[in-house]
C-alpha cells in the first residue's frame, strides 16, 4: 500500500505577535508553491489564528490550533473549544503535546476527550505521544507509548480525523534527536497498535515524528518506514527551515 501524503505541521507554540506572525505565514504561502508536495499546516497561538487564517486564505497551507477543551462550550475560563477553532477555519488541532501533559496535567483520558471533541467539530486531531528519558532508560518506551496510544485515541477514529505524532519528550527542544533505529522501532509499534484500535484503513493514518526535526536531519527521518511527516517546533518559526523540511519529504 502506498504511503499517505506526508504532513508537515508547524507548531509555533507561544511565539509570535501580529506583525511577525503575519510575515511568517505570508512567507510560507509565497514560497509553498501550488501544494503538490507534502501537506503543509501551521498551528499558531490562539491570539493569531484569525489573522493567520486571512494570511493563508486561498492557499494550500492549512491552519490548526495547539489545543482545545473536551467540551463544546461552557464555563471554562481561558479555554478554547474545538467548534471555536473550526469557526475560525482550522482543520486540525494538536492534543496531548508533552508540554500540555507536563505543564497542565493533561492525562491520556483528557487527551482522548479533547480528540473526540475535535472530531465532533469536524477537525482532525493530532494526538501526541512520547516517553521521557527516564522512562526510556528504564526500558519502558513500549509500555508508555503503547499506553498513551491506547488511552488517548477515541473510538471510531479514522485516517480522515486522526494523526498520531511520536515526540520523545527527551528530544523536544533539546537538540538531541532519536536515532533512525529508535524512531523506526516506536513508529512500527504505533502502526501495529493502530491496526488493532482503528482497524481497516489504519495504514492510512499518518504518524508524524516530532523531536527536534531540522533541515539537516529531515531527509533521513522522513525516509524511515511509518514516518508520514513531521511535527516541527522551533524550525517552524523560520519559513526557510520549515519549507526545507517539507522539501525533504518523499512523495506520498
Q: What is the rounded distance in angstroms from the CA atom of residue 198 to the CA atom of residue 92?
A: 19
> Under DSSP, is residue 58 helix (H, G, I), strand (E, B) or coil?
coil
Quote the pTM value: 0.96
Residue 2 lies in a domain: no
Residue 32 lies in a domain: yes
Q: What is the rounded distance in angstroms from the CA atom of residue 62 to the CA atom of residue 56?
A: 7
Half-sphere exposure of 101 (CA within 13 A, CB side): 21
Residue 189 lies in a domain: yes
Catalytic-role residue among 69, 97, 131, 187:
97
> Under DSSP, is residue 105 helix (H, G, I), strand (E, B) or coil?
coil
pLDDT of residue 1: 61
Strand partners, 61: none
Q: What is the rounded distance in angstroms from the CA atom of residue 199 to the CA atom of residue 174?
A: 35
Contact 224, 189 (CB under 8 A): no
Contact 108, 142 (CB under 8 A): no
Per-residue pLDDT of the chain (252 residues), as tens digits, is 667 999 999 999 999 999 999 999 999 999 987 767 899 999 999 999 999 999 999 999 999 999 999 999 999 999 999 999 999 999 999 999 999 999 999 999 999 999 999 999 999 999 999 999 999 999 999 999 999 999 999 999 999 999 999 999 998 777 677 899 999 999 999 999 999 999 899 999 999 999 889 999 999 999 999 999 999 999 999 999 999 999 999 875
Residue 75 lies in a domain: yes
Residue 86 lies in a domain: yes
Residue that has been written with the C-alpha cell 498551528 in this structure: 43
Please indicate whether residue 167 is annotated as part of the active site: yes
Residue 252 lies in a domain: no
| CATH for 138 | 3.20.20.70
Structural domain boundaries, residue 141: 7-247
Which residues, at least 6 apart from 177, have a Cβ–Cβ distance to it below 8 Å?
A: 171, 211, 212, 213, 217, 221
Q: What is the rounded distance in angstroms from the CA atom of residue 218 to the CA atom of residue 170?
A: 18
SS (H, E, C) 174-231: CCCCCCHHHHHHHHHHHHHHHHHHCCCCHHHCEEEECCCCCHHHHHHHHCCCCCCEEE
| Beta pairing, strands 162-166 & 229-232 | unpaired
Which residues, at least 6 apart from 117, have a Cβ–Cβ distance to it below 8 Å?
A: 68, 69, 70, 71, 72, 81, 82
pLDDT of residue 175: 66
Catalytic-role residue among 39, 99, 131, 167:
167
Strand partners, 47: none
Residue 58 lies in a domain: yes
Q: What is the rounded distance in angstroms from the CA atom of residue 126 to the CA atom of residue 134?
A: 25
Work out how many domains the chain is built from and give that number: 1
Residue 1 lies in a domain: no
User: CA torsion angle for 105, 109, 114, 115 (degrees, to 10)?
Assistant: 130
Amino acid at each position: 500500500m502506498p504511503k499517505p501524503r506526508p504532513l508537515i505541521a508547524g507548531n509555533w507554540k507561544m511565539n509570535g505577535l501580529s506583525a511577525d506572525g503575519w510575515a511568517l505565514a505570508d512567507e510560507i504561502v509565497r514560497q509553498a508553491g501550488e501544494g503538490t508536495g507534502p501537506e503543509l499546516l501551521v498551528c499558531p497561538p490562539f491570539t493569531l489564528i484569525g489573522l493567520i487564517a486571512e494570511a493563508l486564505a486561498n492557499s494550500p497551507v492549512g491552519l490548526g490550533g495547539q489545543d482545545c477543551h473536551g467540551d463544546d462550550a461552557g464555563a471554562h475560563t481561558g479555554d478554547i473549544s474545538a467548534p471555536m477553532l473550526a469557526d475560525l477555519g482550522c482543520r486540525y488541532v494538536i492534543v496531548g503535546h508533552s508540554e500540555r501533559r507536563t505543564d497542565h496535567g493533561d492525562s491520556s483520558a483528557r487527551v482522548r476527550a479533547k480528540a473526540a471533541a475535535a472530531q465532533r467539530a469536524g477537525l482532525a486531531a493530532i494526538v501526541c505521544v512520547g516517553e521521557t528519558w527516564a522512562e526510556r532508560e528504564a526500558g519502558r518506551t513500549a509500555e508508555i507509548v503503547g499506553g498513551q496510544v491506547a488511552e488517548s485515541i477515541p473510538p471510531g477514529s479514522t485516517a480522515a480525523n486522526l494523526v498520531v505524532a511520536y515526540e520523545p519528550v527527551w528530544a523536544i527542544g533539546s537538540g538531541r534527536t532519536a536515532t533512525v533505529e529508535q524512531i523506526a522501532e516506536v513508529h512500527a509499534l504505533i502502526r501495529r497498535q493502530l491496526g488493532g484500535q482503528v482497524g481497516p484503513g489504519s495504514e492510512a493514518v499518518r504518524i508524524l515524528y516530532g523531536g527536534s526535526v531540522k533541515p539537516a536531519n529531515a531527509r533521513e527521518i522522513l525516509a524511515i518506514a511509518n514516518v508520514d511527516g513531521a511535527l516541527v517546533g522551533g524550525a517552524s518559526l523560520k519559513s526557510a527551515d520549515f519549507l526545507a523540511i517539507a522539501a525533504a519529504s518523499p512523495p506520498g
